[in-house]
Amino acid sequence: MRKEVYKNIYRIAIPSMGSSIFFMLYSVIDLMWIGRIGKEAIASVTLAMSFYNMNYILNEIFGVSSMVMLARRWGEGNIREFERIGRQIVVYKFIAGLFVLGITFPLAPPFLKWMGGGKVPALDAILYYRWRTVFLPFGFLGGTMMTTFRSIGDTRTLFFISGLWSIANIVLDPVFMFGMNLGVVGAAIASGLCETGAMFFGFYMAKRKWKVWLLKPERLHLDILKKVFVLGGPSLLDSINWNISRLVTVKIFSSIGVLATATYGVFARVLEISWMIGFALEGAITALVGQSLGKRDKDRAIEVYKEGLRIATIWGAILAGIVFVFAPQISAIFAKENDLLVAASQFLRFSSFGFFFMLFMNIGYGTLVGGGRTIDTFYIGLVSNWAYRIPVMVLVARFFEDVNALGVAFASSIAFGAFLSVLGVRKRKWLHVEV
């Protein structure tokens, strides 16, 4: 069984990692172009993205629950029910996107000014944020498109879609930013257009390849909405927790100044890029655990988790080693000024061990979510962020103002979260949840 599980994990995860490579390429080049404007631009976009990511809190309640339900139905071979669930999720998520857009659009100026604290320019942050949110409802649907392929286990097609989206974004970034002289606004518009195009193309590919068409009106049923809230409620709380903790983290860095905020911006982008590898593994584990439990094969679900840990050990060591050894070269991609280059290089090296433990947390989360134990992932995030990360970072910022010490605190909180996630899986409550 182990060999079969190993192949299935990589069958799903490797194309997702390929998608991550495209995302990494886009993410690196996007911040590289922004870095050409200066560290103030990097700091401003870091502020904007910290607020923009908050929008996906409401999206999270549908994302995780739909992943669990769709994977179970696909494992059962119930394609009609797969479509019924998926179509209703599409309607709910589009409405949710419009709602969040209407609420946050007018709130962006005062909030981002407060986040900047007078030390980080807020105008570019406001402009970047507002143009990104114009495309938010379609961004929500893009999440459902990706969930559809991951639930099926067809990450190869998702790899192809991600490649087209990333290449298009890489091409459009300089066109809008410099050719049309739009600056950071151009980066926001390019990202929004490409995400929207990828969403429509992805749903078309699902219909063409798997005869699954989710962009079709479906009568809404309360049973689906009830399951969404039961499964997704804890994930919603988990998303609120993580996003608020990110906001507080950015606020802590901005209290020190532009250089500290830009340094964190570089680190956050590198972490985001690395996280995409972990997310690929997490998605594979979630899908395979969900499909296994849908077939009532608990032994296979356990083996999926164990094999995931073995894979996480290898990939985690590779990621941590790359970040530590090549920290100056990585920082040089984003940093135009020498002071930012030095600060970001040191920060990445001090926090590099967090990249190792991040993948263990991904495997733990993937297993728990695949088993429907989303309440466990909420508690893990709550404890690791608010009982550890934020208190320690506040103390460091207040008494030392040492950016590298903040990096150690951040990375060690990831290690703590990984420990909690593994502990949660070992309790095996996730093997007995009916979805």
pLDDT at 360 over 90: yes
Asked whether the beta carbons of 415 and 354 are under 8 A apart, the reply is yes
Asked whether the beta carbons of 91 and 280 are under 8 A apart, the reply is no
Please write the tens of the pLDDT for every residue from 231-265. 767 767 777 787 788 888 888 888 888 888 888 88
The 8-class DSSP code of residue 386 comes to: I
Asked whether the beta carbons of 138 and 91 are under 8 A apart, the reply is no
Lowest mean pLDDT among 59-68, 157-166, 193-202, 380-389: 59-68
Q: How far is CA 362 from CA 226, 418, 421, in A?
A: 27, 8, 9
- Rg (C-alpha) for the chain, rounded Å, is 21
Residue 358: per-residue pLDDT? 92
The 8-class DSSP code of residue 297 comes to: -
CA distance 33 to 315: 29
The 8-class DSSP code of residue 55 comes to: G
CB atoms within 10 A of CB 252: 21
The total number of structural domains that make up the chain: 1
Asked whether the CA dihedral 362, 269, 150, 163 is positive or negative, the reply is: negative
Q: Grade residue 18 by pLDDT with cuts at 50, 70 and 90.
A: low
Residue 383: per-residue pLDDT? 92
Quote the pTM value.
0.64
What is the domain range of residue 10? 2-432
pLDDT at 1 over 60: no
Residue 67, classed as helix, strand or coil, is helix
CA distance 161 to 432: 35
Average pLDDT along the chain = 83
pLDDT at 428 over 80: yes
The upper half-sphere exposure of residue 305, i.e. CA atoms within 13 Å in the direction of its Cβ, equals: 27
Q: Grade residue 14 by pLDDT with cuts at 50, 70 and 90.
A: low
Residue listed under structure tokens 């050409």:
36
pLDDT at 8 over 70: no
Q: Grade residue 66 by pLDDT with cuts at 50, 70 and 90.
A: confident
**Crossing angle of helices 155-174/258-294, nearest 10°?**
160
Residue listed under structure tokens 């194309």:
15
Q: What is the mean pLDDT of residues 78-100?
A: 87
Residue 327: per-residue pLDDT? 93
Q: What is the mean pLDDT of residues 392-418?
A: 88
CB atoms within 10 A of CB 405: 17
Residue 215: per-residue pLDDT? 87
